[in-house]
A and B are shown apart, each in its own frame.
Chain A
Amino acid sequence: MQPLANVTPLKPAARAGAIQIDRVGQVFKTSTQDVIALSDVSLDIKPGRFIVLVGPSGCGKSTLLMMLAGLRPQTSGTILINGAPIPKPDPDRVGVVFQEASLFPWLTAEENVEFPLALRGVAKAERRAKAEDALKLVGLDGFGKRHPHELSGGMKQRVSIARGLVQDPPVLLMDEPFAALDEQTRMTMGDELLRIWSATGKTVVFVTHSLTEAVYLADEVAVMSARPGRIVDHLQIPLPRPRTYEMLSGDAFGSLRDRIWRHIRKSA
């Protein structure tokens, strides 16, 4: 008998922003066959880290992100965020930023950012104040009254980020957030994201197709293989911060990117 086992306190790793992914698998059942999308994925992400998931198309990185967001249950294994499972979306713990700015076109930037608060019946004045803070954080002070169609692609993604951060969750998940942007905007947004990240101390899980973006942004990069998706490499990115544009052409940067590319070429 071990009665104490039932009341074990949260592990130290269960601090706000910790993500533990333990032997997670995902099987899609179709009418003809079962497709193994993810198999035996384990990752231990410390609070405040910036981790990037890369891999060939269809390797299940977005699926993994959906599972971290509580938008899709895993078939096997466990996912703990702040030490607790995430069976359904929980915006207090996890904010999500999607690919194309998934802003509601009929709402202003401000109202979009307020949306998650409005869902839980937060009072109008408090909502507005929090939205203003979040918009200020992403550098969109004064743009709150505009509708999404009056904003550029980069600005829309800033609004999305503000919306993901408005409830101050310890974890921010980003599913190819800059994929639809042009290269200049993309670079600027990367720097902006790093600034926001270091200002807020969030744990960021970032999915991308771009290896340059991965190495430029990340503390660590998890490389996934083609279906069934599994983690084939987990690199630390020892480049100093703040990251600068000059690093892109450095040897250290190049060899890290090459190492990731070799994995992807092998499995693609």
Chain B
Amino acid sequence: MKAATLRRLIVIALLVLWEVLPRSGLVPELFLPSLSSTLIAGWSEAGEYAHALATTLYEVAISMAIACGGGIVLGALVGSLPRPRILIMPMMSSLYAVPLVVLYPVFTVWLGIGSESKIAFASIYGFLPTMLATAAGIQTIDPQLLLAARSMGATLSQRLIRVVLPAAIPTVLSGLRVGGALVIVGVVVSEMLISSAGIGYLISRYRTILDSAHVFAGVLLVLAMAIAFNAAIRLLERKAAIWQTGTRGGQHAIEEIAGSTMQPAT
């Protein structure tokens, strides 16, 4: 059986178990409401969920733009200039290890409990891995490519836009994958903590009244959001991979044909 078919079967099996286990009474509906009751709960409050989803998507979109845009620009700068790299990189790396969620209450004091504090928190949360990956990606660019561009008269900005950025795309994408996922986490978590709107808020509010079906409806929406994001990144990666994987294949081909470099037959 092919791996993809198997994967699909596993997902279907899990969905079936989700329906069967609570219904058969093996798992109490309070812990795990059945899939159908979750969907019905979500449908009955569709307006409320749609409104919450809109709020969350708005926060995710803005945070994503700030985190990924800022992360790529700053990562490119820090990665290509040695002095800022020495100054900033160790700081950023250790900051990445800090559980930033402890800062969220501070943000609510500064920015209130509306979208601003979520955006601020999620942006910083997703910014760090994007920036670190971009900086790392730029440092690993073949210097020969930059030298060649320079020999053709490329200015600094031309080298950045036409060589450094395209060469860094694969690494940047892997940074985006982590950074974007963290943005979603950041928004939902901050909504759950201190908030008055969004999916995270709904989940947390229904939890306090022990309405599991509505909690799980919210969880499903967050899942869908994460899966959609992942699919979008995969699509981008596939486009970039055309030359990325190809280069490696090409190198193998050369190694197979050529044994070693020739030396003078003296």
Interface residues of A (CB under 8 A from B): 69-71, 88-91, 94, 96, 98-100, 102, 104-106, 115-116, 118-120, 147-153, 163, 179-183, 185-186, 209-213, 257-258, 261
A98 touching B250, Cβ below 8 Å? no
Across the interface, name the chain B residue whose C-beta is closest to A117.
Answer: B152
Given contacts A71-B151, A153-B257, 7 further A-B contacts (CB under 8 A): A91-B151, A96-B151, A102-B142, A102-B147, A102-B148, A105-B243, A163-B152
Q: Which residue of B153, B244, B266 contacts A261 across the interface (Cβ within 8 Å)?
A: B266
Task: Tell me the smallest distance from the CB of A106 to a CB of chain B, in Å.
Answer: 5
Choose the segment among B160-168, B185-193, B220-228 that binds chain A (4+ C-beta atoms closer than 8 Å): B160-168
- Is there a chain A Cβ closer than 8 Å to B103's Cβ? no
Across the interface, name the chain A residue whose C-beta is closest to B158.
Answer: A119
A104 touching B145, Cβ below 8 Å? yes
* Residues of chain B lying within 8 A (CB to CB) of residue A261: 264, 266
Per-residue A-contact encoding for B83-123, CB less than 8 Å = 1, 0 else: 00000000000000000000000000000000000000000
Q: Which of B160-210 contact A (CB under 8 A)?
A: 162-163, 166-167, 169
Q: Which of B239-266 contact A (CB under 8 A)?
A: 242-244, 246-250, 253-254, 257-259, 261-266
A91 touching B250, Cβ below 8 Å? no
B259 touching A119, Cβ below 8 Å? no
Known: A149-B243, A153-B257, A182-B259. A98 touches B144 (CB 8 A): yes
- State the majority secondary structure of interface residues on A: loop
Sample (11) of A-B pairs whose CB atoms are under 8 Å apart:
A71-B151, A90-B153, A102-B148, A104-B166, A106-B243, A119-B154, A149-B250, A150-B250, A152-B257, A185-B258, A257-B264
B162 touching A119, Cβ below 8 Å? yes
* Residues of chain A lying within 8 A (CB to CB) of residue B169: 106
Closest 5 pairs (CB-CB, A-B): A149-B246, A149-B250, A182-B258, A116-B152, A211-B264
Interface residues of B (CB under 8 A from A): 142, 144-145, 147-154, 158, 162-163, 166-167, 169, 242-244, 246-250, 253-254, 257-259, 261-266
B254 touching A180, Cβ below 8 Å? yes
Number of A-B contacts (CB under 8 A): 106
Task: Tell me the smallest distance from the CB of A209 to a CB of chain B, in Å.
Answer: 7
* Residues of chain B lying within 8 A (CB to CB) of residue A151: 250
* Residues of chain A lying within 8 A (CB to CB) of residue B242: 147
A183 touching B262, Cβ below 8 Å? yes
B250 touching A210, Cβ below 8 Å? no
* Residues of chain B lying within 8 A (CB to CB) of residue A212: 264-265
The residue among A106, A116, A179, A181 with the most chain B CB atoms within 10 A of its own CB is A106
Task: Tell me the smallest distance from the CB of B266 to a CB of chain A, in Å.
Answer: 5
Across the interface, name the chain B residue whose C-beta is closest to A208.
Answer: B264
Q: Which residue of A94, A163, A209 contacts B264 across the interface (Cβ within 8 Å)?
A: A209
Per the bound structure, the CA–CA distance linking A75 and B262 in Å amounts to: 33
Known: A104-B163, A151-B250, A212-B265. A98 touches B243 (CB 8 A): no
Across the interface, name the chain A residue whose C-beta is closest to B261.
Answer: A179
Q: Which residue of A91, A100, A120, A210 contacts B263 across the interface (Cβ within 8 Å)?
A: A210
B246 touching A102, Cβ below 8 Å? no
Task: Tell me the smallest distance from the CB of B258 to a CB of chain A, in Å.
Answer: 4
Per the bound structure, the CA–CA distance linking A241 and B166 in Å amounts to: 44
* Residues of chain A lying within 8 A (CB to CB) of residue B264: 209-213, 257, 261
Across the interface, name the chain A residue whose C-beta is closest to B245.
Answer: A149
Across the interface, name the chain A residue whose C-beta is closest to B260.
Answer: A182
Across the interface, name the chain B residue whose C-beta is closest to A90.
Answer: B153
B152 touching A257, Cβ below 8 Å? no
Q: Which residue of A99, A120, A147, A257 contacts B153 across the interface (Cβ within 8 Å)?
A: A120
Q: Which residue of B145, B162, B249, B259 contacts A102 across the interface (Cβ within 8 Å)?
A: B145
Q: Which residue of B144, B151, B163, B257 contacts A69 across the interface (Cβ within 8 Å)?
A: B151
* Residues of chain A lying within 8 A (CB to CB) of residue B145: 102, 104
Across the interface, name the chain A residue whose C-beta is closest to B244.
Answer: A105
The residue among A104, A118, A148, A152 with the most chain B CB atoms within 10 A of its own CB is A104
* Residues of chain B lying within 8 A (CB to CB) of residue A91: 151-153
Q: Which residue of B148, B254, B258 contacts A98 across the interface (Cβ within 8 Å)?
A: B148
* Residues of chain B lying within 8 A (CB to CB) of residue A258: 266
Per the bound structure, the CA–CA distance linking A129 and B62 in Å amounts to: 44
A119 touching B152, Cβ below 8 Å? yes
* Residues of chain A lying within 8 A (CB to CB) of residue B153: 88-91, 116, 119-120
* Residues of chain A lying within 8 A (CB to CB) of residue B249: 149
Across the interface, name the chain A residue whose C-beta is closest to B251.
Answer: A149
Across the interface, name the chain B residue whose C-beta is closest to A120.
Answer: B153
Q: Which residue of A89, A115, A186 contacts B262 across the interface (Cβ within 8 Å)?
A: A186
* Residues of chain B lying within 8 A (CB to CB) of residue A209: 263-264
The residue among A89, A96, A148, A149 with the most chain B CB atoms within 10 A of its own CB is A149
* Residues of chain A lying within 8 A (CB to CB) of residue B158: 119
